[in-house]
Structure 1
């Protein structure tokens, strides 16, 4: 069950754009896109952790990090 949560693309950069160009943009894709069915015996959180994280299965947990949080989610442009 390998997938990449973050995808990157290179938008068009106009020579007439007055703003500094963003050469690479990233976006997040949710984990459920990469699984067609739920396989048996997926690892589970404890009931208390599942209530905190919003899902029972560890594979479907997708934390949200603000673009301004670089310490937790890594640097993004």
Structure 2
């Protein structure tokens, strides 16, 4: 998995010229790290059991803090 992988994607929804609503602009969404890992490598570092329960995964490489709308704005 690349260290500089971008987990935030964006798109511009279709907006018709006849649509009375304002153009919604560019939308952003977060994608989880496991989508970019073709397979799980052996001997990945692991969180402690307590940390794993708090973070929702045993492996730091698969952890995504998902900072909803703090950096994404949209």
Alignment of 1:1-77 (within 5 A): 1-2=1-2, 3-67=5-69, 70=70, 74-77=71-74
Shift of 1:41: 2.8
Distance in 1 between the 2:66 and 2:37 partners? Answer: 20
Give TM-score scaled by structure 1 length: 0.74
Residue 8 of structure 1: SS of its match in structure 2?
strand
Q: Deviations over 1:5-58 (max 9, x none)?
A: 111112222122121112211222222111121112322212210011111101
List 4+ stretches of structure 1 deviating above 4 A. none
Two-structure CA RMSD over aligned residues (Å): 1.8
Give TM-score scaled by structure 2 length: 0.76
Q: Which runs of 5 or more residues in structure 1 are unaligned? A: none
